[in-house]
Structure 1
């Protein structure tokens, strides 16, 4: 179709080379990022700037520093992570990445990033503090954490220098002491846990014995009830009828033998009395069983509490970690619990970059063309030509507009 052919003239997503250098176009947005008071305006300026050139190191660095000053290191994490790829020598970016991994209790990743940070920024107090905690974790944690060889070698080369820092040494000692206290508490808890498990197992065996006893009693009651039924049937068969027919069909009469009847009745009564005694025994054993089960539940609860205490003791070491975001111009801003309150409507007028604005609208028009929505595409292309005719995207929009045929 005509529209599809026009769309193929300029593939979707392609943009012309900017008329001016990206650095010149980005500069106004950097100014807004540095100076705007409202974090929403800062975010909008960052989005506009990265739309121009997402590989410009200055954009990510300026935005990262600004978010740290606003107390939002969790927002600074993305530009910091980008900077570690674009500029691996940016120590503050490594510090932010290490800080965020530490806050998430991802200590292996935090260790690696913080080692690179302290290598690049050896005098940053926040990074030294975080490094002291992580090196203590690496040296002391009983799980023997595994870290990349490159980070291990880097740490080996700077241990002597780090040990001379009072900030590093204080943080290191606090975590080592926390692990020492955890080991002492764990040893005591292990003894208590072993004793509690022995008690619980003893009660568990007693409960099993009671259960077996109940099963034996119930089996014996079933046996004696079947015996009573058999004796009753025998009594009815031999003494309920006096006449029998022989093989010739002759009726014969056998008088009942009184002593046999009395013997069977006596056996039935004896068995019935035995069944009643067994039922009394079952009730008694059940009462004992309920008491044993109650004791078992109490022992199991105590055992579970000790195990929970084990988990809490391990978590106490994690709570000893205190993470500091990197300082910006010597100032450390504590992380906020949420976004700061807005100072007012985010109505600051951002600088407009004609090239990127025109390119975005041109891409939208091409999308409409591909979906056979020519009228809407023409409307957008006319706006691009009118407002951004001097840009490369504006010139492409003019060509595409001329190629489109009237839509029926």
Structure 2
């Protein structure tokens, strides 16, 4: 195990991640792509990958299994990444056996992206669009029935579509499936675990996070109670309080809208690079949608202060050497719906959608001072509008890297 293995493994998993991110963008699940395989950079997985590195020709997990009879890195990985079908298995109380569970559509889509990317990375110039299907057909996991029948059928259909009609057709079908699934999930009742407080779906008998049994509430009883309460005639005092509350809400909404609309796309460019130059995590988080920050905090079980600390540590580690940053815009292009619908129409997490209606891509010339002297780089910088504010895609990605690495 030396520098060759260290650098080679790092480059292999990073190239794979970036390829999956591009695929996920085309599939309409870009946010999942940003978080894809980040556990591979954890010590448990990364150092095993370095130790059993195979010159980028096959997975180190295979070599680790051959040496030990099992792969510690893989066991760690499959329990943390829901795009692997091995994650989706559970004990069936009726059959008393461990059985596969059908994968949700968004994770099936990510699995497809992952498999196509892996074929490209490991096969290099020998890759063609039939390779992922051929690999899956030879899979021992498939032969032993470790996939749920519905998951296997859908994956086979998508890989066959890729082999016969190419990537454009396959990703178009994935986008259709993801969009349809998103519409269905918008109708799912969201509840919170009565023990740990995390978000769960209304029909869950047990919390998928802490395992606590949930006390089921009959929606019809709640509806009846609401009707009964609503049928009571409101008092004059109650009407007065209601009017005051409505006025307060309107004033707060106007203040909020005014604060959000103060900065345009160019202002976001300026604020982002000011935050980078000063390594100011708080200022950088202002260029990221609050909905996304909330999802990150919920998933990683972080407080806002803890997330701020993570982002600050990331900035200090990777950006402290950049000084005297000067940015000039050389060109800009408004992205229409066709340009960025696949790029931005993604799920934040379980039931939160971030649907972008406007975006602008700036071509920048960035001049800065580093340890190596004065530097000049050309960069593409995407700013998008979400609800009533403009935000930076680079900042979103930086927060993801800070929280998930």
Same fold (TM over 0.5): no
Place the TM-score, normalised by the shorter chain, in its bin.
under 0.3
Q: Which has the higher strand share?
A: 2
**Larger RCO (alpha carbons 8 Å, 6+ apart):** 1
Q: Give the structure-1-normalised TM-score.
A: 0.21
Looking at secondary structure, tell me which structure has more helix per residue.
1
Q: Give 1 or 2 for the bigger CA radius of gyration.
A: 1
